[in-house]
Structure 1
Amino acid sequence: MIKQLIESAFLAYRSPNRTHYACNQTVGSNLDAVRYYLEQAIDLNPKQTDLRLTLANMYSFQGDSEQALAIYYDCFTQTPQKDKRIVSLCYLIVWYHYLSEHKRVDDHLAYLSQISPPEARQVKQLLQTIEHILAKPINYVQTAPSQRVGTKMVCPASSCLEDTEPQHKAIIILGNKLNDDGTIPPMLLERLKAALTVINASPEQRIFVTGGLAQGGVTEAVAMQQWLIANQVAADRITLEYKATNTLDNAAFTLAQLQHQNIEHAYLVSASIHVHRCEIIFAATQLHQQFKKQQAHTLPRLIHFDHFAANDGLSPHHSPEGKVRLDCYIDALRSFGLPAFCTKQITLA
């Protein structure tokens, strides 16, 4: 019975129907349904920490930090398993950081340092990464000299690409769902135009196009490659990543290609409301991989990430606020190896 409830919760979580999901003779959001099924499962096994952590994640995803933190804290104080207490502490620290409750962050980090110094160092580095990226204004691509227009910081591509040898730099263009016939939609076209400005400013720089969702038999990566070639970009500059179906996979799969080609500095090109999330996902994924490889003593060089945003008018702010900032923290945790679903039966980001 518990397994069936978890599977129902997972199906609801993965559903594209985010706002009109039928559950328990009512219609609500898919995350409401996830919570319903998880609460039913917890009633059957109230001591299963993984279920309660997953429920707390759903509350945090919906912006109910108070309820989420209460559950994380219960998990931390009530589970006898050290590994579960560490995970609970990690969630507590990151979400208190989201709320800017720095005293609680410091107190919980100090306790984590006592019971697991390596994890404490990793979480501290993650928080530093989040702070660094969220402090950046959106960097819109501009062909004119660097200037501030309203709340937007615009930067000429040429001036932003001078710090690293060209052969060790890369531009990564994030995909977007194609039209049903496999053609490029307006949002992705704006992204490609922004990327082309950067590409033309640094003709020796490597280009990575990432996205595996297909429409009309064409993946996002292939569609972007074809557009770039049609706009006089040399085909041998372009590397395709055509397996990823979400931004977390974009990061995991593309990082391997970047490391193989000895890239030191990469610029992510995406929508204005997405660039900070992208940067956090790539940086946090890299940190997570780095920590795992430390244990195996096979450390690659860390890649530095920056971004360029399409001037698409989607972001009303110059830095992440509201739901966009919330999503940055959610994605930071998921990229760092702390998934949405923490259950033993189903552990998926």
Structure 2
Amino acid sequence: MKPLILAGTTALLALTVCLPAFAFDPQNAERIKTLVDTGMQYYWSGGDVKKAEAEIFKGITLHGRYDVVEQSFSEASKLAPEQMNFRFAVASSQILQKKVTEARATYEDILAKDPTSFDAQAWIEALARIGNDETGATIAHQALAGLDRTKAEAYRQRFVRAEQIIAAKPNIDVPTVSGKVMIVALGYALAKDGTMEKPLLDRLDVTLKAAQANPSARIMVTGGQPQAGVTEGDLMTKWLVEKGVDRDRILIEDKSKDTVGNVLNVANLLKRHTADSVILVTSSSHMRRAQTLLEDALKQYDIGANVLPVVALDAPSVDEAAKVSADERLVIYRDLMRVSGLWAYPGLQQ
């Protein structure tokens, strides 16, 4: 379940291998390759939007990096109209831009072409739930169950878990837990010079308290985006050791690039380094998403550990931290769908 990134010709072959012979003109192969590469480049690191307008999308006005991603896959879809993966990539790019109405239309377009697309129908239900549209969610779920009742029930259960976590009040109290305990501290992007920012330091303060309250617990620090030659995991380990934590207690997960990668890799490690309970530490603004994703990943790995969230408060009060914006709901569901197995950019990026 680890993220997979393909590039260039390999990516193109992976995306077009299932196309009917009549649906793909080989003369368009190089153009599609350029579009796919451009889309993923801007997804990961951005670039010069005006240059993209001039060199790749002549005559089209672009508005920001994710607009470049959307346009890349939209153009690729026109060249290979039967390749639904490109349409899913368009929808994902629209969701990144909070263009929910447009994303819904894209998924409906996929369903019009392939009425058996479980993934598109699952997203229709998710979008209804993002918008708190209970009627729409019920109708979408009935259609989903008509495609695959067992899988539809699994999605219903994960959506119920998500709403329970979203509704819970943030917890700032560090627990003392019996049994085998793993403290999981989620990283935060380092500054360009490779130093830790305040949100990460605040998370480490809470992690240290959890480690002191549970002296037999192991600690897993996560984060693999390097800056100035170091990763979050490296610096988190060094900080904890300097504060007196035994280095032998610490595991490092430094392969992930985002929260989705974090939780999938954490779940994989917990399959080997078992625990009865997981004390999850992150910022209050990040906890609802992190806990939702981690609980889903643990269930997929058949890990029964109880997740106990403890937040580093990054709001004026707990009451303020408990408020959930529409944008946060969107991001929680967006990443939940990725963890569930529906890749954002099929064949390219989970």
User: If the TM-score is normalised by the length of the shorter chain, which range does it land in?
Assistant: 0.7 to 0.9
Deviation at 1:48, TM superposition (A): 2.5
Query: In 2, are the aligned partners of 1:138 and 1:272 still within 8 Å (CA)?
Result: yes
Structure 2 portions without partners, runs of 5+: 1-30, 55-60
The aligned residue for residue 13 of structure 1 is: 43
Deviates more, 1:88-97 or 1:36-45: 36-45
2:106 maps to 1:51? no
- Which amino acid counterpart does residue 324 of structure 2 have in structure 1? P
2:304 maps to 1:302? yes
Query: In 1, are the aligned partners of 2:313 and 2:321 still within 8 Å (CA)?
Result: no
- Which amino acid counterpart does residue 74 of structure 2 have in structure 1? E
The aligned residue for residue 88 of structure 1 is: 120
> How far apart, in 1, do the equivalents of 2:260 and 2:280 lie?
14
> How far apart, in 1, do the equivalents of 2:197 and 2:236 lie?
11
The TM-score, its normalising length taken from structure 1, stands at 0.81
> How far apart, in 2, do the equivalents of 1:20 and 1:166 lie?
53
- CA 1:252/1:58 → structure 2, altered by over 3 Å: closer, same or farther? same
Q: How does 1:319-334 map to 2 (within 5 A)?
A: 319-334=323-338
The TM-score, its normalising length taken from structure 2, stands at 0.81
> How far apart, in 2, do the equivalents of 1:68 and 1:115 lie?
21
> How far apart, in 2, do the equivalents of 1:107 and 1:180 lie?
47
> How far apart, in 1, do the equivalents of 2:72 and 2:65 lie?
11
1:87-146 per-residue CA deviation (whole Å, 9 max, x = no partner) reads: 111111111111111222222222222221221122112211211211122223xxxxxx
2:24 maps to 1:24? no
> How far apart, in 2, do the equivalents of 1:339 and 1:214 lie?
24
Q: CA RMSD in A?
A: 2.3
Deviation at 1:247, TM superposition (A): 1.8
> How far apart, in 2, do the equivalents of 1:193 and 1:21 lie?
43
- CA 1:319/1:21 → structure 2, altered by over 3 Å: closer, same or farther? farther
The aligned residue for residue 9 of structure 2 is: none
> How far apart, in 2, do the equivalents of 1:314 and 1:13 lie?
33
The aligned residue for residue 118 of structure 1 is: 150
> How far apart, in 2, do the equivalents of 1:230 and 1:104 lie?
53
2:200 maps to 1:188? yes
SS of 1:112's equivalent?
Answer: helix
> How far apart, in 1, do the equivalents of 2:62 and 2:265 lie?
37
> How far apart, in 2, do the equivalents of 1:34 and 1:314 lie?
36
Deviation at 1:215, TM superposition (A): 3.3
- CA 1:6/1:216 → structure 2, altered by over 3 Å: closer, same or farther? closer
2:169 maps to 1:137? yes
- CA 1:175/1:110 → structure 2, altered by over 3 Å: closer, same or farther? same
> How far apart, in 2, do the equivalents of 1:245 and 1:273 lie?
19
- CA 1:22/1:323 → structure 2, altered by over 3 Å: closer, same or farther? farther
> How far apart, in 2, do the equivalents of 1:328 and 1:198 lie?
26
The aligned residue for residue 241 of structure 2 is: 229
Query: In 1, are the aligned partners of 2:285 and 2:321 still within 8 Å (CA)?
Result: no
> How far apart, in 1, do the equivalents of 2:310 and 2:49 lie?
35
Deviation at 1:27, TM superposition (A): 5.5
Deviation at 1:327, TM superposition (A): 1.1
The aligned residue for residue 179 of structure 2 is: 166
Query: In 1, are the aligned partners of 2:128 and 2:134 still within 8 Å (CA)?
Result: yes
Moved over 6 A (4+): none
> How far apart, in 2, do the equivalents of 1:129 and 1:341 lie?
25
Query: In 1, are the aligned partners of 2:285 and 2:314 still within 8 Å (CA)?
Result: no
Q: Which has the higher strand share?
A: 1
Deviates more, 1:19-28 or 1:107-116: 19-28
> How far apart, in 1, do the equivalents of 2:50 and 2:170 lie?
34
- CA 1:256/1:7 → structure 2, altered by over 3 Å: closer, same or farther? same
Deviation at 1:21, TM superposition (A): 6.6
- Which amino acid counterpart does residue 213 of structure 2 have in structure 1? A
Aligned residues: 312
Deviation at 1:200, TM superposition (A): 1.7
1:3 to 3, 28, 33: 33
> How far apart, in 1, do the equivalents of 2:340 and 2:159 lie?
11
Query: In 2, are the aligned partners of 1:276 and 1:320 still within 8 Å (CA)?
Result: no
SS of 2:188's equivalent?
Answer: coil
- Which amino acid counterpart does residue 14 of structure 1 have in structure 2? W
